[in-house]
Amino acid sequence: MQIQFFDRQGGLISCRRLSNVACRKVISSIVSAKNKPILSLQHLLSGGRALVVGTLHEHSGLRMAHKITRAATRGIDILEMRLDCLESVRSLPSELALPVIATARHPAEGGAGNLSLSRRRELLRDALRWASAIDIELRSASALAPVVAEAHQHGRTVILSHHDFATTPTVATLRRLALRASAAGADLFKVAAMLHDPRDLQRLIEFQMTSAKIPVVAMGMGPAGRFSRLVLCGFGAPLCYGWLGKPQVPGQWPALKLRGLLDELLPV
């Protein structure tokens, strides 16, 4: 049995070649420590199945996160916290024991509050204390390069993303964006695009199946968004995003329903 954690200074903690009982004892001692370790997103991504991400972007979802029990999180693998929507929040309930992706979205890509670059930089750097990963728009990768470097230094996963609320880029454009993300230090590239007709979904499927230097996550938005997200997981997308509390963009599933749908459509 092998389980990996990162401590708050970015050091890797592993349970290697231990019995299940011994490993559980090690984990118990780590979790009860004052500085609780950060769960490794990379370890989850290596599991080979689509992971469900529950997005927190408003206070009803945050209240749900505070009330949710460990049993009720069964089916949600990761939480995403939209810091641009919840600026005052600095952490999540420790009893959830789920890895967290922190993002402070650029206003041009759906970010709330018209936050300045310096404010988003501040929020993301602060999140490195407790988040397993950060998500930064590719358009901000250069300006936030020091945050990307600091995230890698502390063992955090870096997601660089692109959101197009008007159309679906060509496959060639998507491939160029993925290459730029890889060169900018991404561990994973995420793209969300608006779907208008079946050809748009076909482009996302072709891109998702493209052999790239880094893993990619493609997803659709709009009336066909729900269908597209399940289909794209079938073609290799490692993450599937859903909402907690209230829907955020058209095309998202409720996060608590996604695991059952994915397991029924894509049995391991």
Domain shared by 112 and 205, yes or no: yes
- Residue 25's pLDDT is 41
Q: Answer yes or no: are the C-beta atoms of 101 and 128 closer than 8 Å.
A: no
At 86, which CATH number?
A: 3.20.20.70
Q: For 199-246, what is each residue's pLDDT tens digit?
A: 999 999 999 998 778 999 999 999 999 999 999 999 999 999 998 887
Q: Where are the alpha helices (DSSP H) in 32-144?
A: 41-45, 59-67, 117-127
**Full domain range(s) for residue 27:** 1-39
Cα 159 to chain centroid, rounded: 7
- Residue 208's pLDDT is 96
Active-site residue flag, 196: no
Domain shared by 3 and 79, yes or no: no
Backbone angles phi, psi at 229, to 5 degrees: -70, -40
Domain shared by 150 and 29, yes or no: no
Q: What share of the chain is helix, strand, coil (3-state, %, to 5)?
A: 35, 20, 40
Catalytic residue among 190, 196, 213, 246: 190
Under the banding of pLDDT at 50, 70 and 90, the label for residue 35 is: low
Domain shared by 152 and 184, yes or no: yes
- The Cα 120–Cα 171 span in angstroms is 30
Catalytic residue among 34, 106, 163, 257: 163
Domain shared by 13 and 97, yes or no: no
Active-site residue flag, 246: no
Average pLDDT, the chain: 82
- The Cα 183–Cα 179 span in angstroms is 6
Higher pLDDT: 72 or 194? It is: 194
Q: What is the mean pLDDT of residues 167-195?
A: 96
Is the pLDDT score of 117 beyond 50?
yes
Q: What is the mean pLDDT of residues 184-201?
A: 96
Letter string b/e over residues 61-100, b meaning 16 or more CB atoms within 10 A of that residue's CB? bbebbeebeeeebebbbbbbbbbbbbeebeebeeebebbb
CB pairs under 8 A, 24+ apart, for 251-255? 251/195, 251/219, 251/220, 251/221, 251/222, 251/223, 251/224, 251/225, 251/226, 252/55, 252/225, 252/226, 253/226, 253/229, 255/52, 255/53, 255/54, 255/55, 255/75, 255/76
* pLDDT over 70, % of the chain: 78
Tokens standing for residue 59: 């206070």
Domain shared by 45 and 29, yes or no: no
Q: Answer yes or no: are the C-beta atoms of 83 and 103 closer than 8 Å.
A: yes
Domain shared by 160 and 80, yes or no: yes
* pLDDT over 90, % of the chain: 53
- Residue 16's pLDDT is 46
Is the pLDDT score of 9 beyond 60?
no
Q: Answer yes or no: are the C-beta atoms of 99 and 39 closer than 8 Å.
A: yes
Domain shared by 120 and 134, yes or no: yes
With 0-12 CB in 10 A as exposed, 13-18 as middle and 19+ as buried, what is 48?
exposed
Q: Answer yes or no: are the C-beta atoms of 38 and 5 closer than 8 Å.
A: yes
- Degrees to nearest 5, angle at CA 117 with 114 and 123: 90
The total number of structural domains in the chain stands at 2
Q: Answer yes or no: are the C-beta atoms of 136 and 156 closer than 8 Å.
A: no
Domain shared by 77 and 146, yes or no: yes
Domain shared by 202 and 90, yes or no: yes
Torsion sign across C-alpha atoms 12, 103, 81, 41: negative
Tokens standing for residue 61: 């979802």
- Residue 148's pLDDT is 98
State the SS3 of 128-146: CCCCCEEEEEHHHCCCCHH
Higher pLDDT: 224 or 18? It is: 224
Domain shared by 47 and 152, yes or no: yes
Please tell me the pTM assigned to this model. 0.81
Q: For 55-81, what is each residue's pLDDT tens digit?
A: 888 777 777 666 655 555 568 889 899
Q: What is the mean pLDDT of residues 186-194?
A: 96
Domain shared by 35 and 161, yes or no: no
**End-to-end CA, the chain:** 20
With 0-12 CB in 10 A as exposed, 13-18 as middle and 19+ as buried, what is 26?
middle
